[in-house]
Amino acid sequence: MDPVVLAVDSGGSGLRVAVGTVARGVLGQRVSREPVRTGDRGIDAGHLLEQLLPLTRALLVENGLAAPVAAAVGAAGLATLGDALRAELPDALRRELGVRRLALAADAVTAYTGALGARPGAVVAAGTGLIALGTDLSGWRRADGWGHLLGDCGSGAWIGRAALEAALRAHDGRPGGSAALLACAEKVFGPAAGLPGALYPRPDRPAVLASFAPQVAACAADGDPVAVGILREAARHIADSAAAVCPDSGEPYVALTGGLFRMGEPLLSPLREELAARLPHARRVPAEGDPLHGAVCIAGALATHTLSLPADGTMLQVMDTTRT
């Protein structure tokens, strides 16, 4: 018998759902572009189910699949905002879809698993924000992921904010400014004096800041020393987070995942140097897949009772829904 599995990735850009079997892999995927709401009780379990159930039923019918034996749901904010999901999803997925085993995972865990599988090491997931997760397969270690006001150091939002500060320094005539970054900022956002009014009221301020990061890479590639310095400092922050969570012994693996690393050599070149200096014992490898791939791997391991990742009840919780 080839068990059917369900995998879910819920994040800031929406909800992705995949179904398949352990032997045949993923057979179908669907996407909802509407992010799951967060309310007084944390992540809104009802809103997640409103999107997940019809997408899953359609996929099962399209691919001629029976009820999924196991499901893995990766969700942004699960560690601190996941109480409603833990309370409501096991019974709902058993009742509506027939799921018998369920894993609820922080999105950092699915990112880790997508990148490295069940191998010891460290993964840095970076885009607008940044978080590092590591494991020796006995427990999880997390670094950063504290948001653009308190952390996410080296992230797209961090790079964008540092670059816009440099642009305003050039506008004011203060040290540390960059005429090149000022020209880019005014091309994107308008006159420099209007930057605070353009940014501060925005509810999506981190994403707006991160949208400027590619301009920093372009200026660095053209030799602007301030842009080069910003990306070098970002690389140091990223390496700091990786070193904070990476196992100290053995030969752990290190992988990078997320849209930030598509900025190319202006960031990747100093980052390789920083990682080599901070983690000489670690083996750098390409990420195997994304967080949805990680959720697929976790669901498959659940279905075959081979899950070896540490289930700590916060970052990763495994439940038998027939006992809830």
Does the pLDDT value for residue 151 go beyond 80?
A: yes
**Of residues 39 and 129, more confidently modeled:** 129
Amino acid at 196: P
Q: Tell me which residue has tokens 């940014």.
A: 199
Closest CA to 98 of 184, 199, 5: 5
Cβ(103)–Cβ(109) under 8 Å?
Answer: no
Residue 60 banded pLDDT, cuts 50, 70, 90: very high
| CA 287, 289, 291, 293 torsion-angle sign | negative
**Which whole-number Å values give the CA distances from 262 to 72, 131, 231, 290, 314, in the listed order?**
27, 17, 13, 14, 30
The neighbouring-strand residues paired with 122 are 134, 254
Quote the CA–CA distance of 269 and 256 in Å, as a whole number: 13
- Give the domains, in start order, of the chain with CATH numbers: 4-117+289-323 (3.30.420.40), 121-284 (3.30.420.40)
pLDDT for residue 135: 95
Does the pLDDT value for residue 284 go beyond 80?
A: yes
Quote the CA–CA distance of 309 and 297 in Å, as a whole number: 11
Angle between helices 156-172 and 179-189 (to 10 degrees): 110
Does the pLDDT value for residue 152 go beyond 70?
A: yes
Burial of residue 203 (CB within 10 Å: 0-12, 13-18, 19+) is: exposed
Quote the CA–CA distance of 102 and 81 in Å, as a whole number: 18
Pull the structure tokens for residue 118. 């069940």
Residue 147 banded pLDDT, cuts 50, 70, 90: confident
Mean pLDDT value across residues 276-284: 95
Pull the structure tokens for residue 208. 């707006």
Q: What is the pLDDT of residues 185-218, one digit of tens each?
A: 999 999 999 999 989 998 888 889 999 999 999 9
Share of the chain above pLDDT 70, in %: 100
**Range with lowest mean pLDDT among 146-155, 176-185, 234-243:** 146-155
Q: In angstroms, how far apart are the furthest CA atoms of the chain?
A: 71
Q: What is the pLDDT of residues 34-58, one digit of tens each?
A: 888 888 888 888 999 999 999 999 9
Burial of residue 61 (CB within 10 Å: 0-12, 13-18, 19+) is: exposed
Q: What is the pLDDT of residues 69-119, one digit of tens each?
A: 999 999 888 877 888 889 899 999 999 999 999 999 998 999 999 999 999
Average pLDDT over all residues of the chain = 93
- Indicate the pTM of the whole model: 0.87
Quote the CA–CA distance of 262 and 1 in Å, as a whole number: 40
Share of the chain above pLDDT 90, in %: 77
Does the pLDDT value for residue 295 go beyond 90?
A: yes
Pull the structure tokens for residue 162. 């540092």
Closest CA to 121 of 267, 297, 250: 250
Does the pLDDT value for residue 324 go beyond 60?
A: no
